[in-house]
Structure 1
């Protein structure tokens, strides 16, 4: 294997996760080869729900604005009892990360957008109709045997390999990585429609043991139904058009709508026992399979891509030590499993197996309405696990788990630039590391900050956010100054004048540097961010934040 002829990253699988990873790596300037055994991207609906964190990832990749044009933004869910009366509602109104918490989309349109987005770069070699048949690794790289659609075979050498090849993941099998969890006993029928006559824009969840189901609106007069198969029903029986039309007639005005797809699925709650083996990484469905009840399958995969992309870029470009890649396995599985558990819990609410259980659950939710904090916990989706890490590539701030800022995703408020333009915060953070100061005088925003040997190597962008009561002018050279336009940043970080925040490219806080005692944190960062040519020092005690849980409680 000649290192001079290796590509930095080979991505196997051009679904939404592989395509997003390719776009992110290209944004960071990393050449990739993208291999997909199919001749094109998917043409039929699959995933249909995208959340605020995922839209933020597309923002980093420069595609969020185009994506929003294809979406039905900001919708909620209504849970219906056995008589189809509402007993619970989920309608989040916050946009902490810059986007609505729930948005409907079409996967074929997303994949087409992501594939088109690759054309912005000269660093992507996208090869559709190319299947990986064998993978071999050693300490210096990986060798992939590839078969093209015309039968031609060739060898590809890569420094790193990203397996984004789906739930059946041939690469996961080649790596001999098992999965643990469980498969649902009951199958579900998925029906996708075009030309719906139902203009209700919330998801209806039918929590009825006689036939649990979901009715989801989509963009452009599309709609999806999902129904659980009952005992004795066969795949052939439930996909018969007459059977499907009867189900549609019983659940709204779409009996005669155009059926795009009708297919039976088995749902899984599974996770790979390793997410990394040697120089190969598992992402998306190759790493975890999530029940659809929370709409988090694709979103968890996009989190994988956001987490891994900047680390791969830093390593292959010589800015980060290779040990930074170990944190992918440290950081992602815990949060992904929390979301799987959330989906399992929602499934129990949707699929009570007896009428008595259904009435008990539904009466309990009605009672929650009488307690505003508990009702708010449901309606605002505060039960969704926060995007945060209990251990990984960051330096602890010593705060209690519920209070810590480190390992959590940074909020994204609206800010005002010096030329009075309104922007989302990430637009001024750019696509790399950022060092944030909250100060009324940008000239003094970084006074007292110790020298950081890694700052130039990592290309850290310095940003001063002023209070909403101060105009952001007269910033010194090398500092971007913006105004906290609505006060959302100060509200989220009320003590922000007392520290600086080092933010990673994936928008997670890497360190909180106290203004009055900065040296200890900066020293810990310099050990963690030791240059690639130097031995990677052991992190300082407490450098990995020990957090038992990041779930909110009522």
Structure 2
């Protein structure tokens, strides 16, 4: 007679089971697939969602898709340099977000149509025999023990199957059943007002970019998207319902604000949604982790819900892969929440501030906003601050797999405290707080003028300029080094100061050892140890980056964040410290060549 234990022993086993085939789950599965990790994706729907949702993808997310080997296909479906402009009720532009930098290898703001990119992500999984996708299966039950998670899946016809995975990642949305089953609090608030989204084909306006029209009678958004798609969003006013607004005559009344002939529009969809701002109390419970909307949801005003989920996937994938392959201990997974949760909170805060500025609660507040913002926009440094999107909180990891040396965070100056005390918890006060958090802002420059020099890049994302190899090929840095650890040195062999034990450690992790130099020197450079990649700094940006540091070697993680800096003589000590942070043995017991 077969027992329950026998049944579980025969169940298919995976390293990672991902619940939800949205963009975060699909991206995570592609990254794990590239790393050779046995992965299962479970989706309760019969297919991926095919209606438009997110419309903004940033440079960090495109870099993640580049790591997944899919950026070339995605690039055909994005509009780069997609600006966002805010207008008063009279049509006067009071703020324009126009970032023109590409420090991470891509345009900072890009328009896209999410189903097209989701389809590419789904198709990308076909590259991996060790990645399986099950559609039309709902997670009916799960239970975890010290070595894995048992999943019971139920199909539409009621049949059930049991599977087992070493780890499970919940990417099942803001209403995550996994998060609710685990009893993890989802803290935050829901805005009382709703918005109706209208997507149309054959763009009736044809103008580029996004217009945020701050009309107190009814704020609305007009966004140009790739392939002739236009999105309109209108605030649902008190007393209105989705059913009423969807009636042809009422919808025509809304659309008449923005187009001359509403009856001729080719509608794709109409949908009402509510803005939520919520954050899970923790991102890990044993062998179960939360990612994307299951871990955090935020208002749409800065387009960061989708992009924050992509950051989750990028941060989590390499850690799960190291643990699954026995390269690191399971405690490494605790750094996922340490690193991602605080930044997700910052992005929620930014999105709430942007929403409060766009649609304040009263006409008086709207008039104050217009007056203040027009005045600020007349000051060139402030205008530049907004245009370059410097208010966006970039991830900087203070804890986790980062080795901070003598990093002294700037203190809050009395001037800042006074400004914030007087402005209080208002949209203006929150805006001042965001501006002052960054040294690059006009207010930040004033506040931090007497503070320490520029903060260390440790815990921040490394740049991605163009580089060239000895054959004259020019490509983005990440394409040259691959999605793995990289030890990047300016001008010298990064292994010069490494002993055999340290070198063996990085070779075991398949780290890319890189020497960077001016391209003109490539044909005359001294030899390096076998396996070291020499690249030319085509744009001079890597030289400029190292010129601002006191050390010449950067330890860069697979998600492209700087884990540590070192001088050539410090590489051994720094490697040993990073090994401890990774919960990875510097000298593995199973390495016979090093046991003599």
- Which segment is superposed worse, 159-168 or 450-459? 450-459
Which 10-residue stretch deviates more, 352-361 or 277-286? 352-361
* d(CA) in 2 for partners of 1:254, 1:415: 51
Q: Does structure 2 retain, via aligned residues, the 8 Å contact 1:209–1:353?
A: no
Query: Partner of 1:92: helix, strand, or coil?
Result: coil
Mapped contact 1:140–1:159 kept (Cα < 8 A): yes
Is 1:501 aligned to residue 554 of structure 2?
Answer: yes
Partner Cα separation in structure 2 for residue 40 and residue 390 of structure 1 = 39
Match among 347, 371, 380 for residue 372 of structure 1:
380
1:400 and 1:468 mapped to 2: Cα distance?
A: 35
From the superposition, tell whether residues 73 and 137 of structure 1 become closer, same or farther in structure 2 (CA, over 3 Å): same
Work out whether 1:142 is the aligned partner of 2:149.
Answer: yes
Post-superposition offset of 1:6:
2.6
TM alignment of 1:193-272, pairs within 5 A: 193-253=200-260, 255=262, 256-272=264-280
Secondary structure, aligned partner of 2:560: coil
Match of 2:100 among 93, 105, 109: 93
* Match of residue 505 from structure 2: 454
Partner of 1:484: 537
- Change beyond 3 A, Cα 1:529–1:352: closer
Q: 1:498 to 1:177 in 2, by over 3 A?
A: closer
After TM superposition, give the deviation of residue 523 of structure 1 in Å: 3.1
Per the alignment, residue 314 of structure 1 pairs with 322
* CA apart distance, 1:237: 1.3
Is 1:27 the equivalent of 2:76?
no
Structure richer in helix, relative to its length: 2
Larger Rg: 2
Shift of 1:138: 1.0
Cα deviation for residue 464 of structure 1 reads: 1.1
Point out where structure 1 has 5 or more consecutive residues left out of the alignment: 536-554
Give the total of aligned pairs: 532
Query: Are the structure 2 counterparts of residues 229 and 4 from structure 1 closer, same or farther at C-alpha, using a change threshold of 3 Å?
Result: closer
Equivalent residues of 1:432, 1:504 under 8 A apart: yes
* 1:468 Cα deviation after fit: 5.0
Q: Alpha carbons of 1:144 and 1:473: their partners in 2 closer, same or farther (altered >3 Å)?
A: farther
SS at match of 1:154: strand
Gaps of 5+ in 2: 1-7, 410-453, 589-596
Aligned to 1:548: none
Deviation at 1:514, TM superposition (A): 2.4
Contact 1:513–1:522, Cα closer than 8 Å, also in 2: no
Deviates more, 1:502-511 or 1:149-158: 149-158
Q: Does structure 1 residue 54 correspond to structure 2 residue 61?
A: yes
Contact between 1:293 and 1:347, CA under 8 Å: does it hold in 2?
yes
Q: Distance in 2 between matches of 1:497 and 1:478?
A: 26
> Which deviates further from its counterpart, 240-249 or 470-479?
470-479
Question: 2:324 aligned with 1:275, yes or no?
Answer: no
State the match for 1:286 in structure 2. 294
Asked if the contact 2:12/2:163 (under 8 Å) is kept, the reply is: no
The two structures have a TM-score, normalised by structure 2, of 0.86
Residue in 1 that maps onto 2:367: 359
1:412 aligns to 2:412 (yes or no): no
Per-residue displacement from partner, 1:203-225 (whole Å, max 9, x unpaired)?
Answer: 00011221111111111010111
| Counterpart for residue 167 of structure 1 | 174
